[in-house]
Structure 1
């Protein structure tokens, strides 16, 4: 009886399997892609309400489904890590069958929402995102440290979901640079972000059988070099939108991206003094601040650059 009283409500447990924090970040990424695309194409507000609702709702459903599917697949390894052992599945609060059914339903309904509203390219990208995340990245995590790079692909695709949902020429846009610069920006950001997490939970990942760079590198200097290299790539990638869309982005976004990128690089360089949990934690929290600041700079500068009242 006491155990039942201590058990959280079922709805909150189901919500926990969808990783609400990650789902919010994914949906926010799609929203940024959507807004930048709408301004790039000169679209006006009356024409954007339906695609915006479809984009955000479909992306949120799909992200929730993919995250829940990830928790279903990793439930046994989650039980071996202090960081994840309290999740609903390893804690025994929900049955695997329940989570699997819910995750599959959400994973189907997400792309379906986009397809039924006529956003077929966005729907296809959403489906690819789910498949690569759940069927490629997740099973590879215990196999190879390259899974981190592979996982950054579905992590960055929401930018293209948003872009194509707002674009009147969605398929053609995928053949040109502007949309892909947003993808590359988010792709590059994930690498120092996730490597910092891997440093923070190095022993737990090893205990659960995951093979990140932390478990396979022969020397800590190789890990530090990789984090520094990806932080430089992140800084370079942040210049992409400025170069590909000079009519939208100018000094405001450029200086913000430069300042935030240098800050991240300074924190990454401090790892050379010691690959400690504290130093990695500082880099991790900096990355958490970096992304929304950069997103805000993208949107504000795009509004100013377009001169649009969207």
Structure 2
């Protein structure tokens, strides 16, 4: 890939694209943030066109926030950390994109999150948001767990919590399970009054629609609702086991990222909680670090040609 000559100082773009939103930030080479923009979901598994549109929209908003022109997009060296690109053909779809940047480097949202969480050092992360997945990088060894997408996997995620709650409430409304406080909470969240209303609101919908129900499940669990508590505990037990598998690589640091990272801590195993370290930087900065690393490697290769 040929590189376009860029302004001095060098401008970088870091993108964190997931199942619910896409966040893009523009940086100087030293990591100083110039501007940030947020758009819709950017997981190509749920639609390549939408993912690319979200990347472009969040980038435009970041440029505007930085006081730059939209045409300055062509000056950016972009690092994209995207959900879904662990699937080979989706990675290739993104790579084949006629992008508007000076250069573009693509990795998974997990990899970018891990780089950011530990500011480029080795470590492990678990993302618990709309989906769930784990990643560790120690020395020359990497381990990736989960991230199979809704509804094949993502256990312990917001989407999974919402799905399990909806399944139970439908059983309760049909008379096959005992109704609990969770039943009324979910009906209120969806603004419906019966099982058909739930089906109409949720059937065939995206993971983010189910994830929107997670807060109600967690609230019910904290209030002592037995069904909600059992759902949350099952999900948290899976996350704890995921963490222990990552610990087998002996990472120096371990962080949890995502909207459920904090709410789930009360339900995680004590040995896992004891190992949690704060994230040092956001995933979009990790994506920017990745772009820097790839650019430097490419420039070194060109110098030796």
* TM-score of the superposed pair, with normalisation by structure 1: 0.26
Q: Which has the higher helix share?
A: 1
